[in-house]
Structure 1
């Protein structure tokens, strides 16, 4: 009789474990860089040496923009992104500009660009290409991810963003 109850107990524990795994896989989206997926976390250095992680902005709407100093559309949209950062930060919308440092002609190119074009939004640097492994460039630069308060990518835009396009994507999350 004890063996029977022990067997039933083992089966129930196994079912609970399998059920938990299935529930977790069904209830939380996979990690990835496509719309509807959980955005991969990152931890990248700023100019001042302090790191920023995506997880630093939990429960906020985050716009992650990938750029390089040689990219003309990136240069044109830079002020638009910085304006959005300034205009919406108090409402829980944060813009993070990720310099794709491994695509720069030299390490100093991005820094020289930032000296000539200062911005208030956080700038981080993918110095070793690990960020690019998680957020691969598709169709070139710029590339922008819109990540909701739960860390889910709600939109991906490839190419230059205008003020109107940016506002259109932000407004539903205010």
Structure 2
């Protein structure tokens, strides 16, 4: 092998090693940044005051959580692509028909999907409870929502009564609505 080829090969190897080193440094920096800023979002727990928010439903009406004071709020975070969400929606609708007159409201918070997707889904499953869209994910962030579905049970005083992650059965939903029903 000629000296020039050896030099080129060595130079190429040095460039490749430098690129890999820079990628590793960037990855470590990103990890450190994420772990430092992750603490900025306060994790909600049972007994905390539910953060207030205002979102718009599919009809253009605004829903402000604090306006539901005195009622229980079944605050469900979901997406149309989420299989467990799809399975629990009809059960939520059935229980809403039972508990709405008893002072329990459902606010289904869709995570940043289009009106078309959400309207099509609601029509397909005959959903009649308020569905709002968290377009910029600010409510999702305020509530520190990770897996979907996640449901926050908010009691009539506006405090978080229970946090439920994952799919719920119709019996679960009925029991949870009973928990937050006004006295």
Please tell me whether residue 58 in structure 1 is matched to residue 66 in structure 2: no
Structure 1 unaligned blocks of 5 or more: 1-30
- Match of 2:132? 124
Name segments (4+ residues, structure 1) moved above 3 Å: none
> For each residue in 1:77-100, what CA deviation from the matched residue of structure 2 results, as whole angstroms up to 9, or x when unmatched?
001111121101111111110101
Aligned match of 1:110: 118
Q: Which residue of 2 aligns with 1:18?
A: none
Q: Give how far 1:163 is off.
A: 1.2
| 1:149 matched residue in structure 2 | 156
Does structure 1 retain, via aligned residues, the 8 Å contact 2:109–2:132? yes
The 1-side partners of 2:176 and 2:60 are apart by: 31
CA RMSD of aligned residues (A): 1.7
Conserved 8 A contact 2:153-2:180? no
CA distance change for structure 1 residues 32 and 39 in 2, over 3 Å: closer, same or farther?
Answer: farther
Bigger Rg over Cα: 2
Q: How many residues align?
A: 140
- TM-score computed with the length of structure 1 as normaliser: 0.74
**Deviation string for 1:110-153 (max 9, x for gaps)?**
23222322211100000111111212222x10000101111010
Alpha-carbon distance between aligned partners in 2 of 1:35 and 1:66, rounded to the nearest angstrom? 17
Is 1:32–1:40's contact at 8 Å kept on the other side of the alignment?
no
Corresponding residue of 1:134: 142
2: distance between equivalents of 1:64 and 1:45?
Answer: 14
What does 1:3-82 align with in structure 2 at a 5 Å threshold?
Answer: 33-82=44-93
- Structure 2's unaligned 5+ residue stretches are 1-41
Question: 1:82, 1:144 → 2: CA distance?
Answer: 14
